[in-house]
Every structure is written in structure tokens, then in C-alpha cells.
Chain A
């Protein structure tokens, strides 16, 4: 019987790989007829090859440049400006609040008696608040905001129904705030990543629909044949996440081991099929955009996207290694986790080669530095995650701070860094004003880079030591706690630097808004001609 299961699994695995290969081959061949020139859809003719970075010093007289489609872009941006500003502004506000809760949780791990008298400020709630605020507040809202700004640009048409995302943003903010209050008061669904009570999740789902429909409608009405790779990721994320969110939050369907399985299926897919597409999509747009060069290879883009779509959905069960789940489910998850090397390598080549060949831009542009560093962290976090899923490694790292370090490498080092860069790039284009204090961007950059380096290495080293101490039966359990103490303190130092960086970022953003919009309001055509006709 075991042979049957093994054969079935191995065969269906190989068949699905062949199907994937065939799909990519078929799409690639169709792509060949359309020319690699499709990679240039991010540029208007003549724009390719010019660094496009509003944070670079320069004066208005030199600002004209060979951008034939500036007016068109302006028209498109003008339509999506309001929802994008509201979403990004809300996201940054949640980031500031969420980071403070994160810092509190970190401090509580080595100051256990601090703030223990107030129930909402106990560790279990503060940590949960941090997680939910940064995931559903900062990363999701800012990510959707960036998507709403990029998507119309790559579709060469203005955002449809621009009022709906504004309503969605208001509802989403209310839902996140209600969720935070529920968690603070001790009312949760009791599953990691799904703590917000399902009654409030309904509001989040409703708010999500206000983002999905305008984006889908815009994609349907696009003025280009080909959808640039960023668009695939955004459209994929918009289809996957609602399904994940809905199924995982349906109350009373799963219980016991099934509930844990669904929980981790969801929790990991939030990273891989929601935050990753938001981050990778933005990086795919901003890296060539800021450098002024196309990305490396369309075939690799296809491989990266479709392999992610095939492999990622099974990855989450590696959190249940050693748990009372059928072994084949866990092994399938481990195999899929390791197979994630394929899409990650594809994305890595595409993005890093483009940056590596244009290191001058990396030095010159802090937004690009944020984005490409974030893309690099995606590569590292994914490789690390694949290796972490192996049973031999998982035995040591599971239930340790190492996992926390890994989670932050993905959600922070990768997605947050990309979003920082995106906001810095978009800010001047949204407001028509320069960042009031460009030096603060560098301060923010170095604070979070240094802070995160301390954070990551402290938790990684401490986590391994913790895991080894827990595995050694001859050492009392308390050893695994005391060995970790200095690393937890270092993590708080790193976390404090990161939080400081976020507060500067938030303050800078407020200062940017305080300047008001640029005096010369742009004309606002709601549609544009297809790029191919230009």
C-alpha cells in the first residue's frame, strides 16, 4: 500500500512538472511571435535607458527628458492618485503602530515583568497585534496601493472605478482597527495569522472586493495586448488571496489536526501567494523602471511565475513536521518547499542581473537600493525557507527564534524593503513635490538596514543555539532560554533602530503631504492610446 502511495505521489508530481514545462514552452513560443520588445511595456518609447528617479537631485529646468508619454502617464496617475495616497498613507500609519507593538513584544521577551498588569499589553496580545497590524495594515494596504498605481501604468489605461478603492480603504481600515481592538481585548480565533475574529474578517473580505473589481476591470480594458510580468503577479495575487482568506476563515468547518493543517496552509500562502506577488510584482516594475533597462529574460519571468503558482500552495504544511499529520502530506510539502528553488532562481536571475549590470544606479538611487535589496532578500529568504523545510534542519530550527528571523527576512527584508523603495519613488510623482528632506531617506535606509542586520543575525544565531539546547536531553530546558537572552536583547536593539527608521519614514511622508499638491494641476484624460500605436 505504501508503494502505491509513493508511486502515485511521485508520478503525479512528475506529471505536474511536465505539464508546467509544457505550459511555459507553449507560452514562450507565443511570446516569441510578440517579440521580446514586450518587455518594454513599462517604458514609453524613448524612455528606456534613462534613469527615472525623482529622488535624485536636479532642478526643474532639466526635468523634461525624452518622455513622450508623460501627459498620458499623468492622466493615468491622476485617476489613481486618491485611492493610492489613502492606501499608502494608511499603510504607513499601521506600520508605525505595528512596529511599536513589535518592539514592545521584543522587549517583553527579556524584560518579562514589564507592563504585565494591563491585559491588552501582555506578550500574547502585543505580539499578535504586531503581526496582524503589519500584515493586514502595512503590507497589504501599501502593497495594494502600489498595485493600484502600477497596474494602470502597465495596462496603459486609467484605473476603472477609482472611487471603489477609496471606499475599500476606509472599510479595510475599519476592519483592521476593529481586529486590533478585538485582539487587544482577548477575542481571537485562536490560530496564528487568523487571529482576527471571523466576524470582522467578513468586513475585510468585503473591503477586498472593492480593490479586486477595479483592478480586474482595468486589466480587462487594457490598451496593451501583452500583460507585463508585474501584472501577472498582481492578477494572480488578487485571485489567490480571496480564496485563501475565505476558506481559512470559514468558521466551524475544520477542527483538530485539519484545522492546524488549514491554518498553516493559509499562513504560509499569505506569504507566498499574497505578499510575495505584491513584492515581486513591484520589484519587477521598479527595478527596470528606475534603471531604465529592460529585465533580463521573459522565459525566466514565465518560469518564475508559473512555478510559484504550482509549487507554493503546498508549502505551508512543513510547519507541521513531526505533527500528527499524514506523513505523505508533510513530505509533499517539503518537496514543494525545496522545488521553490526553481521560481526563486528564475526571479533572481531576472532581477539581480538587471541590477548587477547597472550598479551605478544602485549607488545613485536610494529607492532602487531599497527595491533591489528587497529583491535580494527575497532570494535569500526563499533559499533559507527551502532549506529550513528539510527535516534535518527543521528538527533544530523549529520552535526557535530562528523561524522568527526567517519570517522577518521574508516579510520585512523583502516585502517591506520593496515597498519602502516603491513609496519613495512614487511619493514625488503622486504629490508633484520633492521629498522635503532627501537626507532623511538615507537615514531611514541605513537605520533599517543596520537594524535589520542586527535583528536577523541575532535571531538566526540565537535560534540555532536555542534549538541545539532543546534537542540535548542532558541539558535542562531552562538552558535553551538563558542561552537566548543576549540574542533577544540584540534583537530589541535592532528592532528599535528599525522602528526609529519607520517613524522617520512616517514623519517624512507626513511632511511630504503637508506641502500640498503641486500648483500646476494636470489635465486628467481617463484613457490613453495603446502604446503600440505610438
Chain B
């Protein structure tokens, strides 16, 4: 065995000569004790504190799950204020030639089943109120409000403006819900009078029923089969344009808005790889046809809050904004109940929260840059991440926009 050792060439400071065994006998240095004790205390406190935090989290979760009964504590008047007054006005006088009044309306004073049926299914057709004909587009609240809530708001409306003291019960609403389960909106006053209560008197009748008011065979082919790079719209946006998760609901969006978005995908002002491919493969006429088709499409809401946002904060932002953060109310531009204002302002109601929140984020991050005068860029910048989720979750609780009809155009 060859052992090579540098025994001759002593190391620079030659420590092996000064080697002393006693010096190597050492206790654990004091700072090590301090560190160990400090860490031990930290560890015990963390374990204890975490269990507390878990308890708090559980309670919050339980409250969230119990939210439906908690919301049920709202009075009929409160539900009316939140859900109805944006269109029908707080004093229920409506808007001349657009929104029918409730005060003095024959529909409110008629059989209790009429109000409940309208709330459950909505109206999509002409009605006659106080001698004036309204082209009614009342949304369905069946997916948004519980039987008990519907009972309370219907009672409130009938007691306040219909002069009827009788209370509508949740059981009554349940029966009414089951009575025409699965049907769409009432097609005008004529159908309501015929099916629910003849006391409504003579009412105008609606045209024939169609899925979308503007179905065209070529457009339907694009929607359902696609063509080359213009993939079938329904493959992502759903058969009824209802969307899902990060894919937007298209049903009921303003026609002009859809056309503009498709053009913006082509010019790159709005970015999304899939949609840029699809929009680039469409002709101008096809974009217009699709926009028309989806603007007239009606689909029940499939959206629900799923981002864990604070819905009441979202409601606050949507209805009133937050001027301390320079945030206008969403509804001041996007219309009452977030139904949208054609042609430029899309409807927000019943939009999927993941999509709404991701678009708000995209305005900030530059993924979307197609707002006139940078309006949405500014708004989105002032929203915190929590606010984005709050407002997106709130908008998902709203009933879907009533689709426009052929007659209205």
C-alpha cells in the first residue's frame, strides 16, 4: 500500500502541532440552546394556532354552506329591492313604453298563481298593462330564488301593489313550480290568460316559437358542425350557447358586441389563441350571422358562484360601485340587472364567474385591450383580486338576460 502524506511540507499554519484534545471537548454552544428553545416554542404555538385557524375556517365554511337559509332571512321588500327594483323601479311604476308598472297592474292583482308563474318562468312576448302594450322580457328567477324567497317577494308585491292581504306560502310556490316544470318563458299575455288565469282579459298574442329568433341554416351549420379552422361554436360554448367555466355564455349577448369581439380577435386587440384562429377563419357575413344567432338565443342560467368571492361585496360593486376606489357601478353601463346595453355593453348577468374574473384580469394584464377609451382597463385596474372574484360570483347569481326577439328589431 502506498501512502503519500505531506509530512515534510508543513501546512501554512501547522495546526497539527498545536492539537489539544481537551479543547475539542465541548458542550453544546449556548446559542444552539436558545435557537432550539425558540424554535420549540414557535412550533408549539404554530400547532396550537393552526388548530384555531382550522376551527375558524370550518365555521366560515359552515356559514357559507348555510347561506341559503341565511339569505332567506331577507324580507320580501329586501328581495324586491335587490332583484326587481332596478327595472320596475323602487315604487313599481315601471318605465314608460319599456318596463310595465306593477302598481295597478292587472297581473299583480289577479290570481296569486299569475305572479308566481311569471317569477318562475319569465315572460317573453307582448303583454297589455293598463291599456298599453309592452314587449316584455322578464327573466326567470326559478334558478336564482328559493321557493320561500319567491313566496316572500310575491307576497310583498301583491300586498303592496295588488291590494291583496293574502300571504303566498312556500308550499304554494312549490306546487306552482311543479305545475309547468321544464317549460320556457310565457309567450306573452295571451298564453298566461289562456293557461293560468282568464281574468287577465284580452291580451296580445305572440308569434311562433323558435329556439333563436334568427336561426339560419348556414349559421346553424357553423354553430353545430363548424368548417375547417372555424371549429363548431357549440363544441366549446355549448349547444345552447350557455358556456361553462372559462368559456363565456354567448346566449343573449348584444349582436353588435359579438361582431366587435370577433373583429378584435382578428386585429389582435383581444387575444385568445383558439378564438383568434376561429375568428380569422370566418367571413364578415358569417360573423354577423353568428352574432345575430347568439343574440337571439335563450338558455337558462348554468352559472353559479364558484370562486369563493364575497357575493354581498360583489352586489355592492355591481349596484353602487365603490367611489373610494374610483369604481363605477357595473350596472351604470351594463344596464339594470346587468342585462347589457346594445350594441356596446355586453350583458353580465348569468355569465360564468371564471370567465368574468379572467376577463377582468385580462384587462389589467393586457390580454384584452379592446375597450373604447380604455374604460374597462381603468375599471379592472382598480379592482383587487378579491373584488374581481366577488363581482364575478355575484353576477353569476343573476337571472339570464331575456333574449331579444325578431319583433323588437
Contact = CB atoms under 8 A, between A and B. Distances in A.
Given A345-B35, A473-B385, A476-B365, A54 B3 contact: yes
A51 to B, nearest CB: 6
A364 interface: yes
B129 to A, nearest CB: 46
A335 B43 contact: yes
A56 B52 contact: no
Interface stretch (B11-19, B100-108, B132-140): B11-19
B364 interface: yes
Interface in B1-47: 1-8, 11-13, 15-17, 19, 21-22, 24-29, 32, 35-36, 39-40, 42-47
Nearest to B367: A476
For the complex of A and B, the 10 pairs showing the least CB-CB separation, nearest first, are: A6-B51, A2-B55, A49-B16, A36-B25, A474-B365, A360-B11, A474-B364, A297-B26, A58-B4, A331-B50
A63 B40 contact: no
B98 to A, nearest CB: 37
A297 B388 CA distance: 58
Given A52-B5, A59-B4, A60-B2, A3 B28 contact: no
Interface stretch (A210-218, A266-274, A425-433, A487-495): A425-433
Contacts of A7: 48, 51
Interface of B: 1-8, 11-13, 15-17, 19, 21-22, 24-29, 32, 35-36, 39-40, 42-55, 57-58, 357-358, 361-362, 364-365, 367, 385, 388
B11 A51 contact: yes
Interface stretch (A10-18, A276-284, A405-413, A525-533): A10-18
Interface of A is mostly: helix
Nearest to B56: A2
A9 B13 CA distance: 52
A27 to B, nearest CB: 12
Interface stretch (A121-129, A336-344, A505-513): A336-344
Interface range, A side: 35 or more
A434 interface: yes
Contacts of B29: 300, 349
A67 B2 CA distance: 13
Contact of B357 (A10, A295, A296, A473): A473
A479 B366 CA distance: 12
A482 interface: no
Contacts of B11: 51, 358, 360-361, 364
Contact of B6 (A56, A295, A328): A56
Contact of B15 (A64, A293, A473): A293
B176 to A, nearest CB: 41
Given A2-B58, A474-B361, A293 B19 contact: yes
Given A37-B21, A338-B43, A434 B51 contact: no
A44 interface: no
A185 interface: no
Interface in A69-94: 70, 74
B24 A295 contact: yes
A59 to B, nearest CB: 7
Contacts of A358: 11, 15
Contact of A327 (B1, B8, B17, B54): B54
